[in-house]
Amino acid sequence: MPIYAYRCSSCDCQKDVMQKMSDAPLSTCPECGKETFAKQLTAAGFQLKGSGYYVTDFKGGPKKPDAKSEAKSEAKPDAVPVPAASTASAPVTSGTT
Q: How many CA atoms lie within 13 A of 36 on its CB side?
A: 11
CB 26 within 8 A of CB 3: no
Single out the residue of 44, 55, 56 nearest to residue 5, CA to CA: 44
Q: What are the pLDDT digits (tens) for 9-50?
A: 999 999 999 999 899 999 999 999 999 999 998 887 666 676
Q: Which comes out higher in pLDDT, residue 95 or 9?
A: 9
CB 4 within 8 A of CB 39: yes
pLDDT for 6 equals 94
pLDDT for 16 equals 92
Three-class secondary structure of residue 7 per DSSP: strand
DSSP secondary structure, 34-90, as one string? -S-EEEPP--------SSSS-TTTS--SPPPPPHHHHHHHHHS-SSPPPPPPPGGGS
